[in-house]
Amino acid sequence: MNRIAGVLLLAVAACSPSADEPTIRSGIGETRNTSGPLVVYVVNYPLLYFAERIGGAAVQAEFPAPLLDDPAYWQPGPVRIAEYQAADVIVRNGATYAKWIDLVTLPESKVVDTSTRFSDGFITVEGAATHSHGPEGEHTHGETAFTTWLDPLLAIEQAGAIRDAFVAARRDREAYFDTNFAALQSDLEALDARLVWLTRNAGDTPLLASHPVYQYFARRYGLNLESVHFEPDDMPDEAAWSALEQLVASHPARWMIWEGPPSDDIVDRLMSMGIGSVVYAPVGNRPAEGDFLAVMQQNVLNLQTIFPPE
């Protein structure tokens, strides 16, 4: 009889409507890594350096582009993309750097665009073609210069965005990240101060660049810089040399700034035109020796050839 009563009670209970209240989720339901180092994937070496300086032991920063590739044009395969997808934080340079990132699928909530803060100040590359479809169609955007980190003040902004992303992911390490960021900021400001002093008398001195990658650098220090498309280890053809001669006729530069050491025959040919060669490495990928700051400091020393420090 008791058993029957229990069953009947259960039957009655089955008639009661549910009284569950909806709950609000916090976050999107994805379990973020909350212990252990923050796994960070970046798209170029300067960002790797900033992430490691700021994150220290709390961060495991990865930059999987091959050593010899230009990260701006690297195309990762599905395995590498899966690694980016699994990261806690994905750091992109912005300013259209690494166009591959716009053609892959990444979790948007993890992506940090380090150039958003100064996107109003992006430099459009002159001479780049845009197109539309039909007279009324929308045009594509023009090319944007993307070596933003060559302006130390913009590099500080980018590092700040990384710091903010780390703090958002690991609030308990905020003080640690702030301390590390302050040290990095101090180093970059010292670099900037040195360059400001070095180029204080540059005026309109015409300069040449082997590649159009120094736009932000030139703007920061007010340099009168025109670019060509010379590769350090690839002798330009006669058409390129003629074009250079025409350019020098209106832009009488005595120095060309290179991304890497040019070959001897190129140096000699330039010398014959009265143009010296100085290396100012953009260090988009890992340097053979040293780190980002060491390379930048060497760049400053190299620049002293053009702008003697007396």
Partner 1 sequence: MKQILYLAWRYLAYHRFKTLILITAITLIFYVPVGLRVLVNQSAEQLTARAVGTPLVIGAKGSPLELVLNTLYFGSDVPATMHYTQFERVAESELASAIPVYTRFNVQGHPIVGTTLEYQSFRGLEIAAGRQMAVLGECVVGSRVAAALGVGPGDSVISSPESVFDIAGVYPLKMNVAGVLDFADGPDDDAIFVDIKTAWIIAGIGHGHQDLAQPGAVAGVLSRDDNEIVANASVMQYNEITEENRGSFHFHGELSDYPVTAVIAVPQDQRSSALLQGRYQNTDDVAQIVVPEGVMNELLATVLTVQRFVVAGAVLLGLATLASASLVFALSLRLRRREIDTLFRIGGSRAAVAMVMASEIVVVLAVGALLAATLTLATREFGAVLIRLLIRM
Binding site for partner 1 (CB under 8 A): 4, 7-8, 10-12, 14-15, 17-18, 20, 22, 24-30, 75, 78, 81-82, 85, 99, 102-109, 127-135, 137-140, 142
- Give least dist CB 139 to partner 1, A: 7
Rg of the chain over CA atoms, in angstroms? Answer: 27
Query: Among residues 13 and 288, whose Cβ is nearest to partner 1?
Result: 13
Give the Cα separation of 275 and 268 in Å (integer).
9
Closer to partner 1 at the Cβ: 15 or 57? 15
The two tokens of residue 210 are 């082997």
In whole angstroms, what is the distance from residue 110 CA to residue 169 CA?
10
Minimum distance between the CB of residue 3 and partner 1, rounded to whole angstroms? 9
Stated length of the chain = 310
Residue closer to partner 1 (CB basis): 106 or 278: 106
Could you tell me if 93 and 105 are in contact, meaning their C-beta atoms sit under 8 angstroms apart?
A: no
- Which CB sits closer to partner 1, 28 or 57? 28
Supply the DSSP symbol for 223: -
| Separation of alpha carbons 219 and 286, rounded Å | 25
Return the ∠ at Cα 214 (arms to 208 and 218), rounded to 5°: 80
Shortest separation between residue 166's beta carbon and partner 1, angstroms: 17
| Least distance in angstroms from the C-beta of 6 to partner 1 | 9
Of residues 30 and 172, the one with the C-beta less far from partner 1: 30
Q: Which amino acid is at 245?
A: E
CB nearer partner 1, residue 86 or residue 193? 86
Q: What are phi and psi for residue 60, nearest 5 degrees?
A: -115, 100
Closest distance to partner 1 from the beta carbon of 126 (Å): 9
Output the smallest distance, CB 17 to partner 1, in A.
6
Kind and range of the H or E run holding 276? strand 276-279
